[in-house]
Amino acid sequence: MARQHRKQRGLRWLVLSICYVLTVVFTTVKGTGVNFAELRFLEEPSDTVAAKDGPALLNCSAAGEPSPTISWKREGTLLHLVNDPRRSILSNGSLYFRSVHHTRAERPDEGVYQCVASIPNVGTMLSRSAKLQVAALPRFDERPRDLRLFPGQTAYFPCSAFALPPADVVWLKDQQPLRLDPSRMLVLPSGALELDAVQTTDEGAYQCSAQNTDRNRVSSAGNLFVGLSYDDANKISAPTFVAAPKSIVAVKGTNVTLDCAANGNPRPNLTWLKDGVTIDMSLLDSRFRKVGVGSLQIESIQE
């Protein structure tokens, strides 16, 4: 009997303790008057390209009740910016670089950044990631090369330049801006120059110029020679690719162009296949179309 009485008394104390804890927790949360859902970002940082030794700004602002404090992370590590002569957090929470430091040996500012919004005793939110990169002078991965063709054939001069931000490509002929004949000349999205049905007047030295906000760079020259030998020009010759498609990694929903051009006698017809099946470009809703002599453009690419 005594044992049962002690057990019942112990249960009453346990119930009272649980009720007390629940009451305290409920009162504490209710008493703050804070709704965590109100902590939100008004603006988040985005990828930025800055000039070496120039200023840069990664935007960020957040709202909440009470007002959140803002800090920043680089590569997952919290930045300590007290007495930092180059970097500071502005009143709205944005991260400002007075000058972006960048050398071959040291690149302390390039990297992936996140804005951190915090309210004490409530919680912390991380913004999306944003990459800060330093502008790079255009560098040619492919350059025009010499071509020897016959009248009526296709000339293809490659020009692939890496640059940050991406470079605009223009073409020069004999060191002067090339005047494009839209009926047979085209600069492809890759930067390559395509000249269809070449003529003797097309002979010359071709260079591509890549320019971005940092500066521009001009490639070495590729010379075009157009032969006039009637016998050679009329010899039967098998098709030969002067440009072939390359593997590309692209973002879903963007447009992609695969370069392709060929010469031969008689003039070859170019047909595109996907997984061994001919692509029908005649459909009205087709996202595939031929560009220039034989390149393929795919609109809004899917997996």
3 state DSSP class of 17: helix
**Smallest Cα–Cα separation from 146: which of 226, 229, 260, 246?**
226
Residue intervals in the chain for CATH 2.60.40.10: 36-134, 136-298
User: Tokens 């085209």, residue?
Assistant: 186
Per residue of the chain (303 residues), what is the pLDDT tens digit? Answer: 444 444 444 444 433 333 332 222 222 233 334 455 578 999 999 999 998 899 999 999 999 988 999 999 999 999 999 999 999 999 999 999 999 998 888 889 999 999 999 998 888 999 999 999 998 877 888 899 999 999 999 999 999 888 888 888 999 999 999 999 999 999 999 999 999 999 999 999 999 999 887 678 899 999 999 987 766 767 888 999 999 999 988 888 899 999 999 999 888 999 999 999 999 888 867 899 999 999 999 998 887
**Smallest Cα–Cα separation from 117: which of 43, 178, 211?**
43
Amino acid identity for residue 30 in this structure: K
The region that residue 232 occupies, defined by phi over 0 for left and psi between -120 and 50 for alpha, beta otherwise, is alpha
Strand partners, 222: 206
Residues 45, 128: Cα–Cα separation, whole Å: 7
User: Tokens 């303790």, residue?
Assistant: 17
Domain spanning 136-298: which superfamily? Answer: Immunoglobulins (2.60.40.10)
Domain spanning 36-134: which superfamily? Answer: Immunoglobulins (2.60.40.10)
Do the beta carbons of residue 6 and residue 14 sit within 8 Å? Answer: no
